[in-house]
Amino acid sequence: GEDVEQSLFLSVREGDSSVINCTYTDSSSTYLYWYKQEPGAGLQLLTYIFSNMDMKQDQRLTVLLNKKDKHLSLRIADTQTGDSAIYFCAESLANQAGTALIFGKGTTLSVSS
């Protein structure tokens, strides 16, 4: 079945770049997403990439997609303490009956000053 895997923890120093990695299994996924969850809050959509793209940049965020290896990464440049949160990778399984997102278990990013 479909599965999305992420490493569980990442610790970086303020000002460094963070790279969060994700692998997925469903090659028919049309869109791949990155969401952020802060304590006590719901999920906030950070960015997404269409499956026929290799890269997407949005301010401090860069998404890289290697469709052959089914590998997705999120790079956060100049990481700040406010970036500390859980980051979820998700794939969209579009079908005629609608869509559902399959999420990874999340990567906890800890940023130290």
Partner 1 sequence: KAGVTQTPRYLIKTRGQQVTLSCSPISGHRSVSWYQQTPGQGLQFLFEYFSETQRNKGNFPGRFSGRQFSNSRSEMNVSTLELGDSALYLCASSLAETFNEKLFFGSGTQLSVL
Instruction: Using CB under 8 A, pick the residue from 30, 81, 110, 112 that binds partner 1.
Output: 30
SS3 83: helix
Nearest to 6 by CA among 91, 80, 68: 91
Written as one letter, the residue type at 44 is Q
Quickly list H helices, 1-113: none
Helix intervals (H) in 22-83 = none
> Which of 13-21, 54-62, 75-83, 95-103 is the region at the interface with partner 1 (rule: CB under 8 A)?
95-103
> Which amino acid, residue 46?
L
Among 40, 68, 69, 113, contact with partner 1 (rule: CB under 8 A):
40
Q: Can you read off the two tokens belonging to residue 88?
A: 């979820």
Query: Taking CB under 8 A as the rule, does residue 106 contact partner 1?
Result: yes
DSSP 40: T
Q: Binding partner 1 by CB under 8 A: which of 7, 25, 50, 71?
A: 50
Minimal distance, residue 46 CB to partner 1, in Å: 11
Residues lying near partner 1 in the complex (CB under 8 A): 30-31, 33, 35, 40-45, 48, 50, 88, 92, 94-95, 97-106
